[in-house]
């Protein structure tokens, strides 16, 4: 087992959404193979790996004041784990208090939307003709 194969976990909205389906994403060494990554992750996190998908990502070309630059190429591995297996790096838990606050904020958002609709319907809009519009003085 070579722990230097796995560089870091890839943290993004897409990877967190996939973590709910037991799929976890890691940035790995460019020379890593599926078997090596599966073995390393299984030993490091004490989980059972069912499948490994590898993707080589080409770095984007970016323009700067000084010219053109290129981001580094990297390889990512998407690991599918056995149902019920979890990796702690991808777990986000909310406190009970924050869950209650979320519910309260949703209720207040609905109330404010209803009030704003009432305000819009009560106001009257008058349209001026072009002659009545003030002119800019230069």
Q: Is residue 82 domain-shared with residue 102, that is, in the same domain?
A: no
The size of the chain, in residues, is 138
Q: Is residue 108 domain-shared with residue 81, that is, in the same domain?
A: no
Q: Count of domains in the chain?
A: 2
Q: Is residue 81 domain-shared with residue 103, that is, in the same domain?
A: no
DSSP states of the chain: --GGGEEEE--SHHHHHHHTTTEEEEEE-TT--HHHHHHHHHHHHT--EEEEEEEEEPPPEEEETTEEEEPPPEEEEEEEEPTT---GGG-----HHHHHHHHHHHHHHHHHHHHHHHHHHH-------GGGSPPPP-
Q: Is residue 51 domain-shared with residue 14, that is, in the same domain?
A: yes
pLDDT given for residue 127 in this prediction: 55
Please state, in angstroms and rounded to a whole number, the distance separating the CA atoms of residues 80 and 129.
Answer: 66
Q: Is residue 10 domain-shared with residue 69, that is, in the same domain?
A: yes
Q: Which of 28, 130, 23, 132 is nearest to 79 (CA)?
A: 23
pLDDT mean by block of 10 residues, the chain; 138 residues: 85 88 93 94 92 96 93 95 83 54 59 58 54 59
Range of the domain at 52: 3-87
pLDDT given for residue 136 in this prediction: 60
Q: Is residue 40 domain-shared with residue 82, that is, in the same domain?
A: yes
Q: Is residue 52 domain-shared with residue 107, that is, in the same domain?
A: no
pTM: 0.62
Q: Could you tell me the CATH number of the domain that includes residue 35?
A: 3.30.70.330
């Amino acid at each position: 087992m070579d722990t230097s194969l796995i560089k870091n976990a890839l943290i993004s909205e897409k990877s967190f959404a996939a973590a709910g389906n037991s799929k976890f994403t890691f940035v790995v060494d460019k020379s890593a193979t599926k078997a090596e990554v599966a073995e390393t992750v299984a030993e490091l996190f004490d989980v059972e790996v069912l499948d490994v998908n590898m993707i080589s990502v080409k770095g984007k070309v970016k323009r700067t004041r000084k010219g053109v630059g290129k981001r580094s190429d990297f390889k990512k591995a998407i690991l599918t784990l056995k149902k019920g297996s979890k990796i702690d790096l991808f777990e986000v838990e909310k406190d009970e208090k924050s869950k209650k606050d979320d519910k309260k904020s949703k209720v207040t958002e609905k109330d404010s939307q209803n009030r704003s609709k009432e305000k819009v319907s009560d106001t009257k809009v008058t349209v001026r003709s072009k002659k009545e519009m003030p002119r800019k003085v230069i």
